[in-house]
Homo-oligomer: A and B are copies of this chain.
Amino acid sequence: MSTDQLSVTFAALADPTRRAILAHLAQGEASVTELAQPFAMSLPAISKHLKVLERAGLVTRSREAQWRPCRLAAEPLKDVDHWLTQYRQFWEQSLDRLDDYLQELQAEEKKKGRKHKT
Contacts and interface: CB of A to CB of B under 8 A. Distances in A.
Interface string A71-91: 010110110110110111011
A2 B16 contact: yes
Contacts of A77: 84, 87, 90-91
A84 B87 contact: no
A72 B8 CA distance: 23
B81 A88 contact: yes
Interface size range of chain A in the complex: 20 to 34
Contact of A87 (B7, B74, B88): B74
How many copies of this chain does one complex carry?
2
A19 to B, nearest CB: 7
Contacts of A2: 14-16
Contacts of A7: 14-16, 19
A72 B77 CA distance: 23
B19 A6 contact: yes
Contact of A11 (B11, B22, B72, B83): B11
A90 B80 CA distance: 13
A16 B84 CA distance: 14
